[in-house]
Amino acid sequence: MAPDPGICQAGFAAHIMSAPLRPLDWSLPFGDPVAQLSWSPDGTRLGAGGVDGRAAILDARDGRVLHGFIAHEGGLFRAAFSPAEDLFATSGQDGRAKLWDPLTGAQLHSLEGGASWVEQLAWSPRGGWVAVGAGRKLHLWHPASGVVHVSAAHRSTVTALAWRPDGSRVAAACYSGAEVWDAGTGTHVETLPWKTSLISLAWSPDGRWVVGGTQEQSVQIWELPFHPGDELAMSGYATKVRELAWHPGGRYLATGGGEPIMVWDCAGKGPAGSTPRILEGHAGLVTALDYQRTGHLLASGAQDGSVLLWNAGKSSTALRRFQAGDSVTEVRWSPDGKRVAIGCRDGTIAVGQAPV
């Protein structure tokens, strides 16, 4: 069954209301389009990566630059703090993934990806392992032990990564589905099939679902353990679906793919045959989504430069609005859920407060 969000909209009243505009805690001109933002585990620092290859460690209280460095010649794709250790990882167009000391800005380790670009990088939820997608292969890297598992070649370039919540497995998206790998051994576990290309991937916090955004303006979802024929497609989006965010309890899935945000209820029998809650408030395509790690607030950013905060499980009206720069590229909640970091295409980095 394939619920169509475009059709479902007719059953809901429009909720395009002007949320209260709030001032930002601080705003910084980073200088180049922001590729990725990431909070340190203790929430005191913010890591930033620019598409030109630069990276910086910022003081999260005021945006002061603690360390700035060229991470990758030619360009940067991913930049992320370990969720459990004081380590900062990046990947880029020099064919490498790198590990940095955020206290000094010094490079600690470098992994050769075996391809011209290393586009995908994701820490395991408990730290330790780093999944690296380079060309058609997945590398599972444990810098502390020096262990590196390299997968067999996927059917196409690895386009997205998603870790199982317990960190034991990682899914890699490619053409015709997602391949699931065991982190400890590097062995292939299962295939989650799809007929064409996936461009985004997310594993639900309760471990029940894996969801992928597709080139064909739809969302593909697999319930685990997977049984052939049980896959579900949710179609009718206006654009390719790159934006996916899970509520920390695993019940709600927020998706972009247009100006409205679709929030699917995945409890009980799941979203099959259901109608999503529709969140309308942006005047441009949604470009970024993130749920609090604890709590219920969803942050969304869009091409119009606005960032909205929602309690999407209860209401279709935004609670708060920020305006940081031009088109938003990143929204990331702090570990304590009290602040949201914002990155923009014009190079603006900013932080705003959540409602009390």
DSSP H/E element including 307 = strand 306-310
The pLDDT tens digits of the residues spanning 256-304 come to: 999 999 999 999 999 988 999 999 999 999 999 999 999 999 999 999 9
Give the global pTM.
0.94
pLDDT at 16: 46
Sequence-ordered list of residues with C-beta below 8 angstroms from that of 255, at least 6 positions apart, any chain: 213, 219, 234, 237, 241, 243, 244, 245, 261, 262, 263, 264, 276, 289
The pLDDT tens digits of the residues spanning 125-138 come to: 999 999 999 999 99
pLDDT at 11: 29
Residue 145 zone, left/alpha/beta (φ > 0; ψ -120 to 50; rest): alpha
The pLDDT tens digits of the residues spanning 74-129 come to: 999 999 999 999 999 999 999 999 999 999 999 999 999 999 999 999 999 999 99
R_g over Cα of the chain? 19
* Tokens encoding 56: 């910086």
The amino acid present at 355, given as its one-letter code, is P
DSSP category for residue 154 = P
What's the CA gap between 350 and 29, in Å, rounded? 9
